[in-house]
Chains A and B, each alone.
Chain A
Amino acid sequence: MKKTLYIFTNGQFHRKDNTIYFETEQGEKRFIPVEDTGEIMIFGEVDINKRFLEFLSQKEIILHYFSHYGYYMGSFYPREHLNSGYMILRQAEHYIDENKRLSIARLLVEGAGKNILRVLKYYKARDKKVDNSIVTIETLLGTIATCNDIPSLMAIEGNMREAYYKAFDEIIELPDFIFENRTRRPPKNYLNTLISFGNSLLYTICLGEIYRTHLDPRIGFLHTTNFRRFTLNLDIAEIFKPLIVDRVIFSLLGRKMITTDDFERGSEGILMKDRAKRCFIEQMEEKLKTTIKHREIGRAVSYRRLIRLELYKLEKHLMGEKVYEPFIATW
């Protein structure tokens, strides 16, 4: 599987014939193995030019860039290389037809909720007091079937997350990392900063997997499409956030790999220092490489691959072959 390249330092990308290299401000050069790279994530201040982008297009490498605060800013998404008119029509059809769209959106919310429950039950078995959140989420899950429009489905999703985040303080048990409220841009406390950073990473990873399928990332089902933004990756990320991002956060904090020293206060709110971002990314990469046994496929499959399989299942749903069944963790 192709690798993700992370750039933290400031510098410039260059293309020299059939290779590309990154040159830091200090003049240090680092060559990039293009055949082996699936995407590049830029956190530093980096200059690029058209020749470089042309080469990325040719090599089908996606580039994502993040602000100084670690917020996702945007992507260079080279022209789709896998194209099926048939699939695009099916995807659009399932967006335009209210009922078809609603049934996919319901499955996504249900999948997200069940994976959240899985995480909470794991901690309940370890004597954490998360019962209230579990009850609330179970009740909310029961209302999905009767929910008849996207905004109320989004509301259920929001309420589930709220109940879930309430349990974070109980799980993490660190006074410095109190949840308070979910705040996004800019996050107002350390925990929110971590959640925002992790979610942004997952969104770009899902986008990278979508690029390797026939789906159009601009047509989401739960998240409303306006064709200017990518939304399908946000949909798919819902399924995996509890299993990937949140678990990474719990282990980073539980093992004191990230502490309050890893943050600083900027003019726009709290930001993570580079060391913490790197540490987060490393743990995230580890998690994505972790494999589980897949019964149907008959071998071990990594979390990253599970994201791709989720997209394949969605494609089959759109083709009218098999109703989409979100991946639900079983442990």
Chain B
Amino acid sequence: MSDADIGVGGTLVWYYYICLRQVWLISHQITPDADDGNLILGRFIGETSYNREKKELAIGSSKMDVYHFNNGEMVVGEVKKSSKYNQSARMQLAFYLKELHKRGIQARGELRFPQEKKKEEVILDEDTLAEIERVERDILRLVYLQQPPPPVKNRFCKKCAYSEFCWS
């Protein structure tokens, strides 16, 4: 497995803040059965909301949901189904901003929660940048572990598509 294959990517950053075990499982293609309701809902919202301005911007192994220019400034948006995963969403977006920054593009982030009619701003400052870099290193460390970190009951388990796998 090369680093390019692993592609730390936005998805793993997202799961990093939810559950380390999940990061490991996803990176080993141990994905849950697709008929799980929660997974389907997530995809559905991503595909249907903000249809008019939605364009996809792919950078490296990341894909951003929407983008537009506001007075010459680039705004990258991420659509999420609930603000319950706020930290995950913020850091995922910060990761995208960093990827853009690496390519010389200055951008600002906007998190959108269409179901809650809410928006939130994300800016790539020094602290955020340092945190993102730490997370990327830690994700790589995790992915190379021989076994997944053991399941630890947390507030996401109940809705997690892996819950039967973890707790059987």
Contacts and interface: CB of A to CB of B under 8 A. Distances in A.
User: A and B, one complex?
Assistant: yes
A14 interface: no
Contacts of A298: 167
A81 B163 CA distance: 20
A315 B34 contact: no
A312 B148 contact: no
A291 B29 CA distance: 30
Given A320-B147, A321-B148, A321-B150, A308 B164 contact: yes
Contacts of A309: 164, 168
Interface in B143-168: 146-148, 150, 163-165, 167-168
A297 B168 contact: yes
Interface stretch (A16-24, A25-33, A82-90, A91-99): A82-90
Contacts, number: 50
A86 B167 contact: no
Contacts of B33: 82, 212-213
Q: At the interface, is chain A mostly helix, strand, loop or mixed?
A: loop
Contact of A319 (B31, B148, B164, B167): B148
A320 B146 contact: yes
A310 B34 CA distance: 18
Interface of B is mostly: loop
B168 A313 contact: yes
A241 interface: no
Interface in B65-122: none
Contact of B163 (A83, A86, A297): A297
A308 B148 CA distance: 20
Nearest to A310: B168
A82 B148 contact: no
B164 A214 contact: no
Contacts of B146: 320
A126 interface: no
B31 A297 contact: no
Contacts of A321: 147-148, 150
8 contacts: A83-B29, A296-B168, A310-B168, A319-B147, A320-B146, A320-B147, A321-B147, A321-B148
Interface of B: 28-31, 33-35, 146-148, 150, 163-165, 167-168
Interface of A: 1-2, 81-87, 212-214, 296-298, 305, 308-310, 312-313, 315-316, 319-321
Given A2-B35, A84-B31, A86-B29, 10 more contacts: A81-B34, A86-B28, A213-B33, A296-B167, A297-B163, A297-B164, A305-B164, A310-B168, A320-B146, A321-B150
